[in-house]
Each structure stands twice: as structure tokens, then as C-alpha cells.
Structure 1
């Protein structure tokens, strides 16, 4: 393996550390605002285009899909050619593609624009954590920087939803996609002025074939999970999942043979790498999935305005920010395992709370669920990101930061896709049962049945076309959406429970964690 371009260890902190950290956190904020912008606007988007639930799922998951499918490849490119340079390019591209999303003329164009927004985020987001790891030495300052980065990154999803809810009171749905633009411009200026270039990068060749395989592998897996649970797209989803599995095998084969692998399997096999990565993927994905399903539930079932729906999730952001500094201290005092399990407990409690939502759920009960989930995510995020970066040499930190990002983005894509698909399948199944039990079942055409089962927005369009049956259709649509949402929350709770088992079994206690990290450092120093 060729030697790193800058073999020196990172300084305790970079020059002007507060401005540098502000620039990097703003860069992460941009990406996460874009991830959340669509959720609050989904009912309006569905109404504007008459889109089915599967199409709305793709709009919601498009940004995280674009990020997840590109983050491994672009992380390696940044390590080799310049992290700051790729961050600048990603922020600039974000501004451009935001306009395409805002003025999309069709649901298909909007999905493509969202994926391109995610690819722009793939250029910027992983680099923000890479630069924190490269510019701050291991220890308390780096842990606190990562804690703040993690908290603000996750809170950005709440900020995005709140700001989108406010904008949509006066503007059309496309205004939600302009939210990140001023933050992107501010981050771009700060990055250009204050963030150092070419710190602890490497001179290894980039595995471009592995990068291409990783892009299509993640795309097939995420899109497959987003479509395989829906009856009308189940076959297509199965084909995508099989293709994704084949590409995964090819990717693993390529990484074993490549002279300079895109994803170093030697590092990925480390216990302090893969265990927190898996645990983080589940808990972060569950946070995104809960917000995705919850926004539709609140607006369509509870009758919230876009502002009320966005205000209801503010407690999640409050919980994240309040817990972040305590999470950093708890990691240093008790270790990653204890802190992550504590976070998992809170998130599981939040999902159990959501299982009791119904058509009469009061506003305060909704906010309690989000507050508990936010606290849990706040406890889980710092140890997951820190454990991954601590077990990776600085010259390959792009791989570590890409994996940390995949916890959010691949996890978010998968959980939004799965929970969205469960929501769609549950809605269609419940509505089908109600139609079959109706006195007018024999007189309803197959075309109308398909429209009623497609999504809540589609059912509302049918209700407008048949005013004599409007009340029955609205009532059936609401009941079907409740049934689908409860099924989605139940699946989310099961996923959280399984993730807690993985963390509890495979993450070591604090003393063993410190010993493993020391072993990794000695091993990397000898290579």
C-alpha cells in the first residue's frame, strides 16, 4: 500500500477551530435539510400530481437514495483528490439541483431531481465528518466536535420540516426545496475561506470499478425494498433485490482483489467498526422512517396543517440537542455500548408510543413520541460515529465517514422504503377489505378500486369525483391509513429490538473497547 500523502497526526485542533467547525456543520446541515424537506410536503405533492403511495415513497427516499448510492465512491474520491474540493463542489451543485426539484413538471422529474440532490449531498456530507476526524486529534475535543456534528445533523431534519411547514402555509410545495439554498451558500463561503485543504489525504488509486458496483448495488437494494412489499410492484422489487445481492457479491469479490480497495474489508471486519455501523444504521433509519410515516399520519388523519405537523416534531430536535453533550460525556465515561443501548431503549419506547396513535390522538401525545425518539437518537448517534472513526486510520477516514453517513442515509433509505412500503401495502390491503365488505362492491369498477387503493391522495381524488360516496370513501381512507401506519410502526419497533440485540452482543464494554482501539492503532502504524 502506498504511503499517505500526509503521514503526520492531526493537530489538537485546526486554526480558527470554531469557524472551521461551523463551516463543516453548516455543510452537514444542508444535506440533512434536503433529506427532510420532502416529508412535510408529501401530501401537497401527492395532491398536485395525483401520485400513488409508491411514487410518494420514491420522492421521500430519493435524496437519501442518491446520497447512499454515491457516498462510498465519493468518500474514496475525496480521500484521494481533496476533501475540501469535493465539499465545495457538492455545496455548489446543491444550489443548482434545488431549482430543478422546486420547479419539477412531473412526479418522475421530481424523483430524478431528488436523487441528484442526494448525489450532491454525497459529495459534501461524508467530507464534513472526514475533515473533523482529520483536523482534530483523537480525544475529548474530537469527541465533542463529533457529538455536535451528529446532533446538528440530525436536528436539521427537524429544522427542515419546521421551515418547510411554515413556507407551505403561503407558498406551493416547491418552496420546500429552496430551504437548503441559503445555508449552502453560507457554508460554501465559510469552507472556501477557513477550511484547510489536503490534510492527511492518501495517494492510493481510486477503485473506480468498485465505486460503480457500489452505486448500482445500493440503488438496487434500496429501490427493491421500497417496491417489493407493494403488490403491483412486488415482482420488480424482487428482481431489484436479487440484482442487488449479486452486485453485493461482486463488490465483495472486487474489494478482495483490488490493490487499493474502495472499502477496506480488513478494517470493515473490525468489531468496533461493523457492530456500531450496523447498530447506527438501524436506529438512524428508524428515526427517518418514523418521521416519514408520521408526517402523513398527522396531516391526513389528525388534520394538522403543514405548520402544526412540523411543530409537532420540534421536541425530537430539542431532545437531540439537549442530549448531545451528555452523550459525548457518557461515551467517555461508560463507553459506546452502554450509551448506544441507552439510546435504543428510548427509541423503542417512542415507537411503542406511536403504536397507540389513532384518529383522536391529542397533540401532546404526538410530541411525547417524537421527544423520546429524539433523546434516543441523540444518545445513539455519537458513539456510533465515534467508534467507526476511532477504529479507522486517518488516511482512510473517508471510508469511516462514508460508513457513518450510510448509517443515516442507507439506514434512512431502507427504513423509509420498508416502512413506506408497509404503509402502502397496509393501506391497500385494508381498503381492499373495506371495499369487499361494502354493499356497493359489485358495482365498483376495477379501475376505481385501483385508484382507491393507490394512496390516500388518490382516494381523495376519487371522493371528489363521486360526491355521493365522499363520506364513506374518506372514512375508509382514514381507517386504511391508520391500519397501514400502525403496521409500519410495529415493523419499526421490531427492527429497533433486533438492533439492540446486535449492539448488546457484539459491542464490547468500555475496557475492551479501549483495548481494541489501541490494537487497531498499533496494527495501522505497522502497515
Structure 2
């Protein structure tokens, strides 16, 4: 088999004009939406927990149902986009996402909200691979593409920065369901402008649709992610192990089928290239660390420090801006510094950020968290821009959808792991460390042990000083979990930097 070499043709390729940059603006809309939704949901979670009274497991599922379904379908939708048209998949996904967002906004129970989030994952799987793969066909010049990807990646951060402010305003003036309705005004301009500005692109020589590969890809992702969630909530159980083994077995069958297929759904030769596989792992671990941070920090700001949703959102804006600035600033640097040096150097900032969280959160107010997120964001923003560009440039243009889907799968799997693992760890430490004061009724005690929001609600039913004593115990227990979770997050970023230093210098042959 031929060697997979570094892409050089894109360096001297024709430069895109103004229409291409307008198309980029359109493609940023769904990216903004997804990142706004993720951030808004984190900030809305305390109000959702109070309104719908979910259990600890349901609270995690409200967040994870979307990325679980999305992760299972990304490779399938990316491949279908390569075959049937990436713009077409983008438009179908946008229409469905807007409609289901309205349903989620008025969900009366936690179970129905989880179901709506799962359906959002189905349509979201059509959105994300399409946006990134369309950039590959629109910007053929590699320098321009690197900048376009930096702008595309910054849309995640811009949405995350905008989400807390918009979401905070909505949560202070309207019910929690309003945070889902923002999808409608974002996606309507996309549905109008995309057919006019975004050119259709597809694989000019697609292979036959392989239903077995589609089923195997879903049967790989969903059991593995479910097993991870089960371990995070209930510990290692027989059922969790069986789910994990099922996912691994399906993954082995999927890889085996791709290696034998004449036109595989996913070209496994890409993974023999260090710049591709290494960048995927960097994305995965970086997102685990970032999403884990965004899981517990809003709860600390709102419930423990007593900030309003709006003020909590504003507290995180400097960190989100740091992600944007770092992602754009790293583009000219990347032309001179090789990725195996640049990415680990950037991630060193994120390690420092997590260590600041670990040792300054308890009893020091919001300022240390704001500073920690700025430092963490610098590393994540720079590393994500470089890794996403490496993923796209490593794949043939015709297979951009499949390659983008792998990148997005790593991102969404990282989101699931960040919430399930780091969120599960902090929940476990909270429950084990919480010492309920004597005199608290049994039903109130059980509610307080479920989640921090449950403890907050429980204290409203108790008179002082018993209520104050219960809340102080709950806040202390939660912060003990923050310490451990932050150290684990720092270790994950160190792992990502080590992988980048080793794999991003490797030459690949197959």
C-alpha cells in the first residue's frame, strides 16, 4: 500500500475569495448553536434539577443523552454526507434540530427531556461533520484553511462565551426551557443562506452503502459510552463490564470489515498516520478535561458562591475569550513551530489552569476560578486549532466527511467522558464526603445525598441552624470532589501533551 504522505498540494492551491468567507460565516451558525446549547445546559442544570427533581443518574443523562446518540451516529452521518451531499445533510439536520429544540423547551419531566436530548443528538450528528468537511472543499489553500479552521473552532468558544450571558439573561427572566428555544433564531438564517452561499460537495466516486458497517459503528460507540456512564454512576458492575465488552467486540468487527472492504466506510489507513491518530487523541483528552471543568464550575459559582446565572456566565467569559484568542493567534506560530512542540507547549498552560482550580477553589471566591479558566483556555484553544487542521489535512478531500466525523466523534466522546467520568467522580466524592447533621429527617437527608442541587433544595425545608449546617456540609463535600477531579483533569492534559509530543512527529507508512 502506498505511503500516506504529508499534504503539500494545499500550500500552493488557489486562494478562496469573499464568497468562501461568507460561507464560513454561515457554517459557524450551527457550531455556535451546539456550543451555546452545551454551555447553557450546564448553567440551566441547577434550575432543571429544582424544577424536574431528577435523580443523580437522570441529571447526568440530561447532559449525556445528546452526545451519546451523536457520538454513535457521527461516522455514519459523515459517510452519508460524503455520498449524498454535505450541504444536504446540513440542511436536514438544521431543520430537525430546530423542531426538536422546541419540544425540549416544554418537556414536563426529566425522562421526556432526556428523550428530546437524544433526538437532538440524531440531528446534531448531521450538522457537525458537514460543517468541518465543507471547509475542506471550500478552502483548498492550506494557509487559508488553517485560518478558517481556527475561526470555525473559535465559534465553539464564542458560543460558549455567549451562552452563559444569553442563557443567564433567559434564566433570570424566563423558565429554563427558554434556553432550548435559541436554536430557532440561529438556524433560520442558516436555512436561508446556506443554499445561496455554501456549495454542495460530495465524494465523486462513493462506494456502496454498507448497512452492516453502519450498524457496527453504532454498536461500537453506544455500548462503550453507556458502560463508561454506568461505571461513573454505579461503579464497576457485571452489566457495565458486559456493555464494554460488547462495544469492544463490535469495534473489532467494524475494523475488520473496513480493512477487507474494497471501498470502506472509514479508511483505517488514516490511523497509521501519527498526525491523524495523535490529533484525534489530543482532541479527545482535551475535551474530557474542558467539559469536566464546565460541569462542576457552574454549580460551584451558582450554588456555593450564590452567583446568579448571569453573573456566573460573565465569570467564565474571560476564559472563553482566551480560547478564541489562543486559537486564532496560534495560526501564524504554527507555520514556524512543528506541532509536536507547539501542542504540548500549549497544553502546559491547561495543566497549570487545572492545578489552580485544585488548590484555590475552596474558600477563595470566584476570582481564582476565573484566572484558572483563562490559563486553561489558552492551552485548549491553541491545541484544538492545530489538531483539527491536522485531521483534515491528513485525509483525501473526497473522504473529508468521514475524517471530520472521526474528529467530531472524539469531541463528543470526550464530552461524554468529561461529564460521565469527571462528573461521576465528583458526585461519588460528594456522596461519600457528605456528613449529614443529626436531626435532619430521613427523606431530606436522602435528597441531599443525591446531588448538590438536591441539598440546596432540601435546606429550604429546614429551619436554621439545621439548614445552614446541612448546607455547609454539602458545600464542603462538593469542594472535596472538585480537588480530586481537578487533579485528574490535569493528569489527562499531561497525557494529551505526551501523546502529541510522540505521535505528531511520526511519519506514517502502511
Do they fold alike, i.e. is TM over 0.5? yes
Alpha-carbon distance in 2 for matches of 1:349, 1:11:
41
Q: Residue in 1 aligned with 2:122?
A: 119
Q: Residue in 1 aligned with 2:474?
A: 477
2:63 equivalent among 60, 64, 71: 60
Alpha-carbon distance in 2 for matches of 1:201, 1:77:
13
TM-score (norm 2): 0.92
Q: Residue in 2 aligned with 1:156?
A: 159
Pairs within 5 Å for 1:169-188: 169-188=172-191
How many residue pairs get aligned? The number is 500
Q: Residue in 2 aligned with 1:294?
A: 297
In the alignment, is the contact (CA less than 8 A) between 2:157 and 2:321 conserved in 1? no
In the alignment, is the contact (CA less than 8 A) between 1:63 and 1:117 conserved in 2? yes
2:252 equivalent among 249, 252, 270: 249
1:494 equivalent among 471, 491, 494: 491
Alpha-carbon distance in 2 for matches of 1:347, 1:66:
29
Q: CA deviation at 1:406?
A: 2.3
Q: CA deviation at 1:11?
A: 5.1
Q: Residue in 2 aligned with 1:463?
A: 459
Alpha-carbon distance in 2 for matches of 1:333, 1:134:
25
Alpha-carbon distance in 2 for matches of 1:41, 1:365:
23
In the alignment, is the contact (CA less than 8 A) between 2:74 and 2:405 conserved in 1? yes
Q: CA deviation at 1:460?
A: 3.2
Q: Describe the shift of the 1:257–1:372 C-alpha distance in structure 2 as closer, same or farther (beyond 3 A).
A: same
1:205 equivalent among 205, 208, 223: 208
In the alignment, is the contact (CA less than 8 A) between 1:101 and 1:114 conserved in 2? yes
Q: Describe the shift of the 1:281–1:116 C-alpha distance in structure 2 as closer, same or farther (beyond 3 A).
A: same
Q: CA deviation at 1:173?
A: 0.7
Pairs within 5 Å for 1:101-500: 101-231=104-234, 234=237, 236-431=239-434, 434-435=435-436, 445=442, 449-467=445-463, 469-500=466-497
Q: Cα RMSD over matched residues?
A: 2.4
In the alignment, is the contact (CA less than 8 A) between 1:51 and 1:458 conserved in 2? no
1:85 equivalent among 84, 88, 106: 88
Alpha-carbon distance in 2 for matches of 1:480, 1:263:
45
SS at match of 2:296: helix
SS at match of 2:173: coil
Q: CA deviation at 1:504?
A: 1.5
Q: CA deviation at 1:246?
A: 2.5
Q: CA deviation at 1:147?
A: 1.0
Alpha-carbon distance in 2 for matches of 1:98, 1:255:
35
In the alignment, is the contact (CA less than 8 A) between 1:316 and 1:374 conserved in 2? yes
Q: CA deviation at 1:308?
A: 1.1
Q: Output one character per residue of 1:114-165: Cα deviation in whole Å (capped at 9) or x when no partner.
A: 1221221210111111011012114211111111111112331222222111
TM-score (norm 1): 0.89
In the alignment, is the contact (CA less than 8 A) between 2:274 and 2:503 conserved in 1? yes
Q: Describe the shift of the 1:204–1:173 C-alpha distance in structure 2 as closer, same or farther (beyond 3 A).
A: same
Q: Describe the shift of the 1:414–1:464 C-alpha distance in structure 2 as closer, same or farther (beyond 3 A).
A: same
Unmatched 5+ stretches in structure 2 = 2-8
Q: Describe the shift of the 1:458–1:214 C-alpha distance in structure 2 as closer, same or farther (beyond 3 A).
A: same
Q: Residue in 2 aligned with 1:5?
A: none
In the alignment, is the contact (CA less than 8 A) between 1:340 and 1:379 conserved in 2? yes
Q: Describe the shift of the 1:408–1:155 C-alpha distance in structure 2 as closer, same or farther (beyond 3 A).
A: farther
Alpha-carbon distance in 1 for matches of 2:446, 2:241:
22
In the alignment, is the contact (CA less than 8 A) between 1:49 and 1:106 conserved in 2? yes
Q: CA deviation at 1:313?
A: 1.0
In the alignment, is the contact (CA less than 8 A) between 2:132 and 2:404 conserved in 1? yes
Q: Does 1:96 align with 2:99?
A: yes
In the alignment, is the contact (CA less than 8 A) between 1:281 and 1:407 conserved in 2? yes
Q: Does 1:21 align with 2:17?
A: no
Alpha-carbon distance in 1 for matches of 2:366, 2:444:
34
SS at match of 1:355: helix
Unmatched 5+ stretches in structure 1 = 2-7
Alpha-carbon distance in 2 for matches of 1:200, 1:320:
33
Q: Output one character per residue of 1:163-210: Cα deviation in whole Å (capped at 9) or x when no partner.
A: 111110111111111122211111221112111113554421233222
Q: Describe the shift of the 1:14–1:31 C-alpha distance in structure 2 as closer, same or farther (beyond 3 A).
A: farther
Q: Output one character per residue of 1:407-445: Cα deviation in whole Å (capped at 9) or x when no partner.
A: 3211111112111111111111112xx24xx555xx965
